[in-house]
Amino acid sequence: MIEGTTQTEAPDQEDEAVRRAQEDRLREVWAAPKGWRYWSAVNNTEVGVWYTAVSFGFMLFAGVLALIVRAQLAVPENDLVSPTFYDQAFTLHGTTMMFLFAVPIFEAVAIIILPQLLGARDLPFPRLSAFGFWCFVIGGVFVTGSIFFDQAPSSGWFMYPPLTTEERYTPGYGPDIWLLGLSFIEIASLAAAVELIVGTLKCRPPGMRLNLMPLYAWYVLVVAGMILFAFPPLIAGDILFEFERMFDWPFFDPSRGGDPILWQHLFWIFGHPEVYIVFLPAIALVAMIVPTFAQRPILGYSWIVLAAVGTGFISFGLWVHHMYATGLPSISLGFFSAASEAVAIPTGVQIFVFIATLLTGRVIYSVPMLFVSGSLANLVIGGLTGVMVALVPFDWQAHDTYFVVAHLHYVLIGGVLFPIAAGVYYYWPLVAGRKLSSRLGRIAFWLMFVGFNAAFLPMHYSGLAGMPRRVWTYSESLGVGTANLISSVGAFIFAAGILVIVWDVLRPRGKEPYAKRNPWNAGTLEWLVEMPGEDWGVRSIPIVTSRYPLWEQPNFIDDVDKGRFYLPDAEEMKRETIITSVLDGTPLQCLRVPGPSFMPMVAAIFTGAVFIFATFHWWASTIAAMVLAAISIIVWLWRGTAIIPEKPEKNVGRGLHLPLYTSGPHSVGWWAMFITMMGDTTAFLGLVFGYYYFFTIHADFPPPANVGPGVLWPSVAFGLFAVAWATALGARLTNQAGRIGLARGLMAAGAVAALGGSAALLWGPYTTGLRPAAHVYPATVWVIAIWTALHGVAGSLMLAYCLARSLVGRMTPKHDMDIWNVALYWHFVGFAVIVTVGTLAYLPLLT
């Protein structure tokens, strides 16, 4: 079923001259731009490396902050740094490590190795990855740079109100920088999630069925799915928070009906899955390294899938274990305690699978394996203290003490940083063509392992002895002076280990030879790469029939190299890769992947400007930046997406003909829209959660129906949005049926109806005189109405975009990807409208 049916004249792959010409074409097509245009590159081999380098840079920065913290705490009653600076240092340490290192490093590494692992030339949306990268750089520099102006956030990485919402406690821009800078970076994470989900599901090589997928890809799929549902509630929280800070809308102010606990819910609905979002990808690296160094396939593949998927789900039921001390009913705490214990099951399963694989294999002890064993040891300690603090009575004793600091660092450094170090040593040849030094690696490992345990083991004691977290200094009478001194010395030893790795990576290589191909004798596709690697990724896209093709498929490397598989050539001088089906990897399409462009960078700069100007309340500039961002995104889409190919299909090799253009559920664009809107809808539900949260805690929420936005205008909005939804769907169907005139009419009518619907939705609360700063009820009504109205405006723009594409002939009845995606968008807006109008207008009638 892999083989095509039509036979056409195929190039002779056994002829070296033919192959040489093909290679020249591939090399030219995939080459990174030269000179200053280098920065317009979008290919995974460039963007992934930049992404990784920048997130490591942020890690080193946050590490320096940690050393400052440890230096301050080394002796009792120290005053090395001021309390204000200390607060900024530990807040920025946590914030940077989580948002600018742990999550981005997953995205960065996945962008580098996922296409290689899947034998794809690139992921389906390289420009989206580039956009995400530039957003990340701009937002990251903005957030971290604030400390040099003494304006960094200083209230802990979770920003609890009312400490952070009231000017008298936190003057200056610190919280705004945190909220707006990180919201911006969250967009980058969502972009990466879309890219990675579609990449894993649709860009696998022909024949790679779900049961043959590398475990790393399973983890990527699970983690990207988690990002999609974990980050949006935080975005919703950020919106509420920023509206409170900027416009005094009292979401978290109890004197006007708000509740600071709502922020804690929204933050930790993100914050706990976040722990697993950073942990699972690191364990995914372990799942790739262990089989290679045990020189055998992983034992219990299904069990790992169980662990990844099971953890992905259960980790969403843990968030309140960060809130045990807030006075919630004990029965509620019980539910979260139960889930927190249950999650230990899949986590433990993974560790047993790794150990079993190692026990049954012939283990080769090398630097990556050393870091993996160190990781497992430390992670188990962190996991066990996790089971302890998941118990409510114990947590009440240890809450906000250094015991928790010890626990979380054992999990994060043991479970994330050590595997990443293992990954650096393991995958360095893939990036640079050479192995890192095994001698320096061992030195780094032992410095890190000893330093880490010296730093964090004593913290268990400091915490149990009563030392609270986030204190600037402590009294000698507490008796934790020695423990803290050991911790500080340990932290510096640990840092020395990190520096050894940095030196190993950066040191000049001179004439050191390249590593041999597949230097670790691994079994998975990423090691097809030549040393040094070519920009095209794989010479030809292989047919995969095994989990470890390099070990198990005979003559595999030679077949790939000689171009005997698919797409051995780039005869039209276009970047191409193969799209396959979700279950069985059946080839469906030859996808033309976009090449270098400055548009993602330009769009990211303007989008960043929106957030940065808003931080300083420069409203005119903010609006100007918003318009420029919208224009740059439209230009990017207009010129670079849904391009009508010069012929309907092409021969991709081995007699297989694949279409060059698909639309609807067969196209990657449709999938990306679907996934993006899942995330978008989750953010919307985060806002709606706020409404129903207040509904549960206040007897008079919502107030009687005559106070609210009324029934009339929301109903009018509902009608107009229904028209817009129907026209979007109708335009898709009529355009498909070839009735272009009618389709254009529908698109125009839909664009107008959507604007009208948005206006009517906002007119309701306006005309009934709801003042958002007065009480949390009007504020909540307004924020939900604004969200949906903005989606209506965006939907109107999209319909107008489709109309313009149709008028200039870029969208036709056969080439209708745009309207398919816009109609899909409108299904989601339709859902949001139903929830919005039902909640705001009709729910008050029932109460």
Partner 1 sequence: MQVFGKTQDNLWTLIAAPAIWGFHFLFSYFLAAYRCAPNDDIFGTRAAIAVVTVICLLLILLIARRAGREWRTYGGAYRNDQATDNARERFLEFSTLLLAALSFVAVVFETLPIFVFWDCR
- Which position has the token pair 């580098």? 112
* Residue 583 makes contact with partner 1 by CB under 8 A: yes
Distance CA 540, CA 706 (A): 68
Return the range that interacts with partner 1 (CB under 8 A); candidates 45-53, 336-344, 380-388, 618-626. 336-344
Taking the complex as a whole, how short is the minimal distance between the CB of residue 543 and partner 1, in angstroms? 9
CA-based nearest residue to 319, from 689, 702, 780: 689
Selection from 575, 639, 596 nearest residue 37 by Cα: 596
| Entry field: residues in the chain | 847
Is 211 among the residues that bind partner 1 (CB under 8 A)?
yes
For partner 1, the binding residue among 11, 297, 664, 745 (CB under 8 A) is 297
Per CB under 8 A, the list member of 143, 269, 314, 841 interacting with partner 1 is 314
Contact call for residue 301 and partner 1 (CB under 8 A): yes
Q: Which residue has the tokens 């009518």?
A: 749
Q: What's the token pair of residue 170? A: 């936190």
When asked if residue 199 is in the footprint of partner 1 (CB under 8 A), the reply is no
Regarding 302 and contact with partner 1 (CB under 8 A), the answer is: yes
* SS3 at position 468: strand
Which one of 32-40, 103-111, 325-333, 738-746 is the stretch in contact with partner 1 (CB under 8 A)? Answer: 325-333
Please tell me whether residue 644 binds partner 1 under the rule CB under 8 A.
no
Q: Exactly one of 345, 359, 502, 635 binds partner 1 (CB under 8 A); which one? A: 345
**Is residue 846 close enough to count as binding partner 1 by CB under 8 A?**
no
Which of residues 699 and 808 has its CB atom nearest to partner 1 in the complex? 699
Kindly state whether residue 330 participates in binding partner 1, applying the rule CB under 8 A.
Answer: yes
Least separation, in Å, of the C-beta of 336 and partner 1? 8
Interface pick for partner 1 out of 313, 394, 472, 598 (rule CB under 8 A): 313
Least CB distance to partner 1 at residue 343 (A): 8
Q: Does 665 participate in binding partner 1 (rule CB under 8 A)?
A: no
Give just the sign of the alpha carbon dihedral 122, 124, 130, 133. Answer: negative
Residue 356 interacts with partner 1 (CB under 8 A): yes or no? no
CA separation for the pair 447, 180 (Å, rounded): 38
Contacts 24+ apart (CB under 8 A), 636-642: 636/127, 636/597, 636/599, 636/600, 636/603, 637/801, 638/801, 638/805, 638/810, 639/599, 640/127, 640/594, 640/597, 640/599, 641/594, 641/669, 641/817, 642/669, 642/805, 642/810, 642/811, 642/815, 642/817, 642/818
Residue 360 contacts partner 1 per CB under 8 A: no
Which residues, other chains included, contact 624 with Cβ-Cβ below 8 Å and sequence gap of 6+? none
C-alpha to C-alpha distance for 603 and 135, rounded to whole angstroms: 9
Q: Which stretch binds partner 1 (CB under 8 A): 64-72, 202-210, 351-359, 419-427?
A: 202-210
With binding defined as CB under 8 A, does residue 267 bind partner 1? no
- Is residue 586 at the binding interface for partner 1, with CB under 8 A as the rule? no
User: Residues in contact with partner 1, total (CB under 8 A)?
Assistant: 43
What is the C-alpha separation between 530 and 515, in angstroms, rounded? 9
Stretch that binds partner 1, among 281-289, 335-343, 663-671, 831-839 (CB under 8 A): 335-343
- CB atoms under 10 Å from CB of 370, counted, come to 22
**648 preceded by a cis bond (ω within 30 of 0):** no
Minimal distance, residue 661 CB to partner 1, in Å: 26
Least gap, CB of 220 to partner 1 (angstroms): 14
Provide the minimum distance between the beta carbon of 331 and partner 1 in the complex, in angstroms, as a whole number.
Answer: 4
Binding letters toward partner 1, positions 669-708, x by CB under 8 A: ---------------------------xx-x---------
Question: Site for partner 1 (CB under 8 A): which residue of 409, 460, 547, 744?
Answer: 547
187: left (phi over 0), alpha (psi -120 to 50) or beta: alpha
Q: Please name the residue that has the structure tokens 């790992």.
A: 304
Say whether 170 sits in a helix, a strand or coil: coil
**Of residues 102 and 117, the one with the C-beta less far from partner 1:** 117
**Residue 296 CB, nearest approach to partner 1 (Å):** 12
- Cβ of residue 490: shortest distance to partner 1, in angstroms? 37
Q: Is 387 in the site for partner 1 (CB under 8 A)?
A: no
* Range in contact with partner 1 (rule: CB under 8 A) among 328-336, 632-640, 735-743, 796-804: 328-336
Can you spell out the DSSP letters for 51-73?
HHHHHHHHHHHHHHHHHHHHHHH
Does residue 551 belong to the site contacting partner 1 (CB under 8 A)?
no
CB under 8 A: which stretch of 240-248, 310-318, 750-758, 823-831 binds partner 1? 310-318
Nearer to partner 1, 175 or 205 (CB): 205
DSSP bridge partners of 590: 578
Where does 698-816 have alpha helices with state H? 712-736, 740-767, 776-807
> Which burial class, exposed, middle or buried, applies to 171 when counting CB atoms under 10 A from its CB (0-12, 13-18, 19+)?
exposed
DSSP 8-class letter at 838: I
Q: Is 76 in the site for partner 1 (CB under 8 A)?
A: no
* Residue (159 or 213) nearer to partner 1, CB: 213
Structure tokens that stand for 236 in this block? 């919703």
Contact range with partner 1 by CB under 8 A, out of 121-129, 181-189, 324-332, 832-840:
324-332
The answer to whether 545 contacts partner 1 (rule: CB under 8 A) is: yes
Q: Does 305 bind partner 1 (CB under 8 A)?
A: yes
Cβ proximity to partner 1, 39 vs 695, nearer residue: 695
Closest by CA position to 245, among listed 333, 149, 178: 178
- In the complex with partner 1, the residue whose CB is nearer, 345 or 790, is 345
| CB-based contact 832:758 (threshold 8 Å) | no
Residues that bind partner 1 (CB under 8 A): 207, 209-212, 297, 301-303, 305-306, 309-310, 312-314, 316-317, 328-332, 334-339, 341-342, 345-346, 544-547, 582-584, 696-697, 699
